[in-house]
Amino acid sequence: MIFSNAKRIFAAMAVALGLGLSSQIAIADQNAGKADIVDTAVEAGAFQTLVAAVKAAGLVDTLKGEGPFTVFAPTDDAFAKLPAGTVEDLLKPENKDQLVAVLTYHVVPGKVMSSDIAGKKLAAETVQGGKVAIDATSGVTVDQASVVTADIETSNGVIHVIDSVILPK
């Protein structure tokens, strides 16, 4: 009888521990992807050029700030589409103002989810001051770049991954 009670107690403890572990995993899952914009880009691994450019432009603290921001983030492959030498030239200290202009053209104030613009054509003012043309009537394009992954939520906004670098007019 004592042995039987011990089995029940052990089983109850195992269930309780399992439930505790499950709730910890659920909490971790809820917080996954909730790093800030910069840390999310670093963790993704496909934005090394973008992250290097953000650092060279001195925008890390801004994009780690409170926000919210909507970032149209070009992948490393998107940067590779630019003419040879373009990225290297932009990263030079003497071209910092131009680099800042290009990067801030990829950022819209506020948190804009794909569901907010579905089926619409609009122009959104960027942090740089120019306007990007957004067409969400059939897929989503921003200027001439296609959004390949939308709605990556971060603690201070959202990232939409694009397949080309967009340039201010």
Segments in the chain below pLDDT 70: 1-33
Q: Same structural domain for residues 84 and 27?
A: no
Domain for residue 169, yes or no?
Answer: no
Whether residues 157 and 111 share a domain: the answer is yes
pLDDT at 34: 81
* Tally of domains within the chain: 2
> Strand pairing partners for 158?
70, 153
Q: Is the pTM of this model over 0.85?
A: no
Q: What is the pLDDT of residue 169?
A: 85
pLDDT computed for residue 18 by the predictor: 41
Domain ranges, residue 19:
1-32
| Structure-derived torsion over alpha carbons of residues 66, 134, 39, 52, reported in degrees to the nearest 10 | -110
167, part of any domain: no
Cα–chain center distance at 140: 16
For residues 41 and 20, membership in a common domain is answered with: no
